[in-house]
Amino acid sequence: MTPSSKKASPAAKKAPAAKKAPAAKKAPAAKKAPAAKPATSKERAPRQRTASSRAPAAAPAAPPDPTRLAAILRLLEERYPHPTTALRFENPLQLLVATILSAQCTDERVNQVTPELFAAFPDAAALWKAPTPELERIIHSTGFFRNKAKAIQGACKKLVEKHGGEVPREMAAMLELPGVARKTANVVLGTAYRLATGVVVDTHVRRVAARLGFTAESDPEKIERDLMRLLPEERWIDVGHQLVLHGRALCVARKPRCGECPLAPHCPSAGTLGDAGGEAAGE
């Protein structure tokens, strides 16, 4: 998943305003994150980075106070004013499939294969019924193609059988889809439908959030829970994308560019991470 200034799909424009996650509404400190069933096992099945095996930082930074948090969020908004994914899609189904394909693969590579894929198999029923060898051939270059083909066809079968071929708008329904866990569900629900169901946690978010002191956890589910407690719900979608963008642009795994980083005055890790720190943050 990658951010850019790309516009959201038509579906996104019509989508209702952010839907509140049931258990995560109130008072920051007291509010409970929804029973986060994270981007772990299911999304790892097709592959997934060994995110949890990599410590976010050598020493967890202190969590931000409200003033520092507000400054960081403002600066992220200024630097990345139109955050979204770099995956190209025209509807929620395409984003779902592209997100599955993006595991352990660059968005650029995914964008190279999806035009042929969606031209050949334009909807959930077609993807479900597609000859698997042909599907695997098209997506081969994205890596882990057998597992990804299995996940795509399993998810599309469920979409056809249970949701009329449409991508559901509920986290619980998304999590029932084969190959879909919280990360993919948050990407699709947040980006295609603008539903704030949680915060996308990928390798960049893990690293940057740890360096900023947003979390001391290394497990994606726990990181997401920390971010949902810390961030205003109306920022869940955009901050997820902004942290990804920042992790790619400046707060890279090795040798983060703190000297160029607008967040540096508010970042407890600024200037403290050399090669070793970058590696510890891992990617």
Q: Which residues bind ligand SF4 (CB under 6 A)?
A: 208, 211-212, 250-251, 256-258, 261, 263-264, 267, 269-270, 273
The one catalytic residue among 42, 148, 150, 183: 183
Structure tokens belonging to residue 219: 């497990």
User: C-beta of 267: minimal distance to ligand SF4 in Å?
Assistant: 3
Structure tokens belonging to residue 120: 């050949």
- Secondary structure letter of residue 89 according to DSSP: -
- The verdict on whether 202 is a catalytic residue reads yes
- The verdict on whether 25 is a catalytic residue reads no
Task: Give the number of other Cβ atoms within 10 Å of residue 10's Cβ.
Answer: 11
Nearer residue to ligand SF4 within complex by CB, 192 or 208 = 208
Under 8 Å between Cβ of 192 and 11 = yes
Q: What's the length of the chain?
A: 283
Nearest of 137, 163, 162 to residue 148 by alpha carbon:
137
Nearest of 136, 148, 195, 199 to residue 167 by alpha carbon:
195
Nearer residue to ligand SF4 within complex by CB, 45 or 249 = 249
Under 8 Å between Cβ of 45 and 177 = no
User: C-beta of 207: minimal distance to ligand SF4 in Å?
Assistant: 8
The one catalytic residue among 202, 219, 255, 275: 202
User: C-beta of 224: minimal distance to ligand SF4 in Å?
Assistant: 19
User: C-beta of 244: minimal distance to ligand SF4 in Å?
Assistant: 13
Under 8 Å between Cβ of 156 and 125 = yes
Nearer residue to ligand SF4 within complex by CB, 67 or 119 = 67
Nearer residue to ligand SF4 within complex by CB, 21 or 253 = 253
SS3 147: helix
Among all residues, which ones are annotated catalytic? 183, 202
